[in-house]
Structure 1
Amino acid sequence: MNLKQSRQRIYNIGIIFAFVLAINGVSAFYFLRIDLTQEKRYTLSPVSKETLRALPDQVMVRVYLHGDLPLSFRKFAQNIRDQLNEFRVYGGSKLQYEFIDPYESGDERQIQATVEKLYKAGLQPTSVKMRDQKGGYSEKMIIPGAIVSYGNRDFSVNLLSNNPAFSGEENLNHSVQNLEYNLINAIRSVTQTRIEKIAFLEGHGEWDEYHTGDLMKALSNYFQIDRGQLRGNVESLQPYKCLIIAGPTQPFSEEDKFIIDQYIMQGGKVVWLLDAVNIDRDSFAQGNAYATIAQLNLDDMLFRYGVRLNPALVQDIQCALIPLATGATTGQSKFVPTPWPYFPLLSGAFDHPVSRNLNLIKTEFCSYLDTLQVAGIQHTVLLRTSKYSRIKNAPAFVRLSEVKQGFREEEFKDSYLPIAVLLEGKFPSVFQNRMLTALKITGHYSFKPHSVPNKMLVITDADIIRNQVKQTPRGILISPLGYDSYTSQTFGNKDFLLNAIQYLTDESQIIMLRSRNIELRLLDKSKIMEQSTRWKMFNTLTPLILVIMAGMLFQQWRKKKFAQ
């Protein structure tokens, strides 16, 4: 009887052992996890699953975050790996990935060449502190980004959020939140077969292709970019998904307004970047400039759509710095960084995917908007000033000497002025109930008094889209959009505009993935300091006590068994 029981026991143990081996074998080839988190951080959205299931051929994701990394970035790299493994559940063998250490070769020249190559490809290196074996710290350049390849197409994606307004832990948390969006957006971009068109309007003094060059280059990863004038042809905008009106300085004719109006009525998206006030920047060489009201002949259109541009300059305590000459030393002027309230730094709406978790947005001589009640139109403020702002109505002088007087918070009594507003709904035509026979229009059209459900974005600063341009012996040098050459800081202008245009044009609404919120659950550092000894003792002694108790119980069980 005892022999049979022993055999049965060995048999049962063998079955359990074989079952565990089978589970391990299957898990080595298949990725599976159950999402028990409150915010479902490990659950893919339907649009991601659809994109991955529809991959036409193999997509390769090369992640350059590997090797000797700080603990926080090792965890981030593991988050990226987990996300890609989740992607492979739906993409199968068509989605491949590898993690690459740019420092693996150990050769300084080769490492430098690799980093420069990745930088030229669009990946942004970042410096981190590393603890060495002696307990000290050293700095290391890492590249928290990836290149997604499909056929002969590559798409570079920076995976680390680097907003100076947030702590390092918060930036990493935001980066984890945006992993699904950043990677799916890159995969969708390299595999898309149909390329939509976007037009930059010309003919009214808008910014040229150089001053909008960096955004145009970024948009070319998703769209075909064209520039041109309307020339009275009502059909000229029909091929385009979106129209960008970037900084006009001359009034619009009624014919051009009619063409844009009917383009909107048919579902065309428009991004308006308008200056309500003109200011001659060259006049600041003499210490002051005169701000005048811009005459664009667009007030009636925008009023009809639900917004009004106010002809005033906005000042804000939260502002950019400018170099101001304070005197001369050794025959040369001395420049010091000085806050300039006419260059407000705007905050984005945290609850909207276009603007959440972005760096501050830099503006120059911006105005502000009023939203108007129009039936069926929904307003969403995407960018606004800080709590401490004020307005100066045009016409008015702007003097550099104002900074010498100083700025006090109590003088800035206007809070959270709207600068960028998203409009959504069915827009009424500004030409409804108006005679159209006087318009000199070519092309075939059927007048529409109301639009289909549509969207547009109105921004009261044309400089948000303008990158710096420098003439060099090698030609024209275009700086990154949002880059401030004086402080060497890059603001969030490009990310904001890319997000906005994608929100307007993408029917699949991948941009909504940016709405995902993962709560950052940090440990209470004060409690850690107070209770560290207690928890160390608990973690050390508890396993020993459990082992001793288990041994005692087992011994008691043996005594009872053999006593019987």
Structure 2
Amino acid sequence: MKKLIEWIKSPASDRFFLIVVILLLNIVSVRSFVRLDLTSQKTYSLSKASKNVVKNIESPLSIKMFFSEDLPSPYNNVQQYLTDLLSEYKSNASSAFSYQIYDMSKEENQRIAQEYGLSPVQIDTVETAGFSSKIAWMGIAITYGDYIASIDALKTSADIEYKITTTISKIISAQETDAEAMYQIGYITGHKEYELRSNRYAQSYFETGAGNFRTLLSDIYSIKEIDLTHENIPVNLNAVIINGPKEEIPEDQLKKIDDYIMQGGNVAFFVDALDEYFVNNDQLPIFLENNSNITKLLEGYGIKIDGSFVMDQKCFYQNQSGFGKQFLHWVPVIDKDSTPRKNAITDNLGGILLFCASPIDISEIEKNSDIKTTVLAKSSDESWRAKENIILYPGSNLPSENENLKAENLAVLAEGNFSSAFNPSVKSTLKSKIVVVSSGASTTDVIVDSEGTSATALFLRNIIDYVNNNEDFCAMRTKGTRLDFISIKNEKSAFIVKMLNEFGLAVVIILIGFIVWRMRIARRYIIHQKYNPDDKRFISSKKNDEGGSEK
């Protein structure tokens, strides 16, 4: 026993214990899933909403992954991401959650995938000989009780978590309530608001309809159209949308909106400050102040929308044959520097387009200490206002030489305890959220793409999620959509960054090695000085009288 203790204390046992520790760590790692996510967007971590959904599953729920092996880049990254993501779900879920990964090289598994409603997809790859196509399986099926939901063509990892979590939530909700959508949201009608359908025969930008906007919301929301002429806004609705009214809203109906906000309701306002009028069919339209009175309601809360359009040098442009770039100054491009970071609506987003937006003045509402105000989007410092003789044509409405160019607020968020717009002495005891976007036209098919993947579509959808108290969905949907670039201002800085990328790691390793080498020499010198300072064999090196060396 004494020899064993002495052996344990001796350096001879170090290697043995190192091997034991490594073996134990491997055993633990096989049974537990641990991963550190160092990305700024937390791309590889489950959102709080996802954890809550799978944590509370009571009946057996299974996710079946049908993904082909040996896919080319970037699809192989999607496969690995999905595999890791399912492990994350499992580690945070109840015992009722499970998942299986199928080998798609087997025909029987392909038949199983087809029974779940999945189909192979064609992917294009670039090879040495040129382009080639390949058929691959890239989908999952989720089963819960009698419900089966399939998610096909997972070609990107950007919104996989959002799709899985919302699908799980939908089928659980359908099992419990027999409702196809998880949430209901109100949509005010009766004042020539944008119709929630596409108009293929539109004669102008403003007549295209908001069909894509409705499709964008349809995955988890059912829309309840509300005519304020005949009914009040139901208190049980978390949020309502007011989208581009063009006809006058009577005061009694404005008071219904105000009453809803006073009772803790949330509202997303998409407002066109100017309206389009055609004097003659063969002439260009003119733009006059919108008389819907919705701007007056917002002024009662301290949010003022100016009756002009914001034109911006940093805008969307089209390449037209024979004319080159055609700049549409009335469509500002809102980059990530013009949106707030660490905000659920705009985080990870850049390149938002707003169509015919107007300046928003929030100086009054900012005086209210009970309201937190956030500017969600603003134009660049090279923008100006156009109020008269507005023509939506490239090269028109350019700024004058004396024009005051400055950034303008185009979308704002206000949240807190609001005072009534009709009786400021009455203050709500419940917190509300108001989002104001000074461009109802930005919800139309002119801007919102049919796939709902553009930055503008994600921005609009995040607004609806936020006012409906689904903030976690915002971050989940936009994971991986933002590219974090290094800001390089000149060629010298670019050269330095390039050298650091190519040789920086090697230089760091050499420096560390040099420092360790010098530290070892210093340590040996200190030890010799302390215990045997007279032993000159290790202190100096010089030639002796016989021509040899002395150490």
* TM-score tier after normalising by the smaller chain length: 0.5 to 0.7
For 2:459 and 2:257, the matched residues in 1 are separated by: 24
Q: Secondary structure at the match of 1:364?
A: coil
- Kept in 1: contact 2:64–2:99 (CA 8 A): yes
Amino acid aligned to 1:357 = N
Mapped partners of 1:410, 1:187: distance in 2: 57
* Aligned positions of 1:129-278 closer than 5 A: 130=126, 132=127, 135=128, 138=131, 147=140, 149-151=142-144, 152=147, 154=149, 156=151, 175=158, 183-192=164-173, 193=176, 195-210=182-197, 211-234=209-232, 236-278=233-275
Tell whether 2:382 aligns with 1:388: yes
In structure 2, distance between residues paired with 1:410 and 1:387: 15
Given that residues 65 and 140 in structure 2 are in contact (C-alpha distance below 8 angstroms), is that contact kept between their aligned partners in structure 1?
Answer: yes
Q: Which residue of 2 aligns with 1:317?
A: 313
Distance 1:409 1:143 in 2: 57
**Is residue 354 of structure 2 the alignment partner of residue 363 of structure 1?**
yes
Residue 496 of structure 1 aligns with which residue? Answer: 459
Other structure's SS at 2:423 match: coil
Listed as ranges, the gaps of 5+ residues in structure 2 are 9-13, 108-112, 198-208, 487-495, 512-551
Kindly provide the CA deviation profile for residues 159-196 of structure 1, in whole angstroms up to 9, marking residues without a partner as x: 777xxxxxxxxxx8xx4xx7655644444344345743
Contact kept? 1:102, 1:115, Cα under 8 Å: no
Q: Is the 8 A contact 1:359 1:491 kept in 2?
A: no
Offset at residue 360 of structure 1 (A): 2.6
The 2-side partners of 1:142 and 1:241 are apart by 44
Q: CA RMSD in A?
A: 5.0
User: What's the CA shift for 1:497?
Assistant: 1.7
Asked if residue 459 in structure 1 is aligned to residue 455 in structure 2, the reply is: no
* Structure 1 gap ranges (5+): 106-110, 120-124, 162-171, 327-334, 435-447, 469-480, 539-564
Structure 2 residue aligned with 1:88, among 87, 90, 95? 90
| Counterpart residue type for residue 430 of structure 2 | V
How many residue pairs get aligned? The number is: 464
Q: 2:444 is aligned with what amino acid?
A: R
Task: Tell me how far apart the structure 1 counterparts of residues 27 and 72 of structure 2 sit (CA, whole Å).
Answer: 32
- Distance apart, 1:96 and its partner CA: 3.7
Equivalent residues in 2 for 1:296-315 (5 A)?
296-315=292-311
User: Which residue number corresponds to residue 428 of structure 2?
Assistant: 450
1:394-543 pair list within 5 angstroms: 394=388, 396-398=389-391, 400=393, 403=395, 414-432=405-423, 449-450=427-428, 452-467=430-445, 482-483=448-449, 491-506=454-469, 509-511=472-474, 525-527=498-500, 529=502
**Which amino acid counterpart does residue 467 of structure 1 have in structure 2?**
D
- Between stretches 511-520 and 356-365, larger displacement belongs to 511-520
CA distance in 2 between counterparts of 1:144 and 1:180 reads 18
How far the C-alpha of 1:306 sits from its partner, in A, is 2.5
Cα distance change on mapping 1:142 and 1:239 into 2, 3 Å: farther
Once residues 267 and 157 of structure 1 are traced to their aligned partners in structure 2, the CA distance between those partners, rounded to angstroms, is 39
- The alpha carbon displacement at 1:72 in A equals 5.3
Counterpart of 1:353, as a letter, is A
Distance 1:493 1:513, change over 3 A: closer
Q: 2:84 is matched by which residue type in structure 1?
A: D
Partners of 2:408 and 2:59 lie apart in 1 by 48
Instruction: Measure the CA separation in 2 of the matches of 1:83 and 1:36.
Output: 12
Q: Is the 8 A contact 2:267 2:434 kept in 1?
A: yes
The alignment status of 1:346 with 2:337, answered yes or no, reads no
Instruction: State how far apart, in whole Å, the 1-side matches of 2:137 and 2:464 are.
Output: 25
- Distance (whole Å) between structure 2 residues aligned to residue 242 and residue 456 of structure 1: 10
1:157 Cα deviation after fit: 8.8
1:39 Cα offset (Å): 6.5
Aligned counterparts of 1:99 and 1:414: Cα–Cα separation in 2: 57
Q: Deviations over 1:2-25 (max 9, x none)?
A: xx9xxx9xxx99999898777656
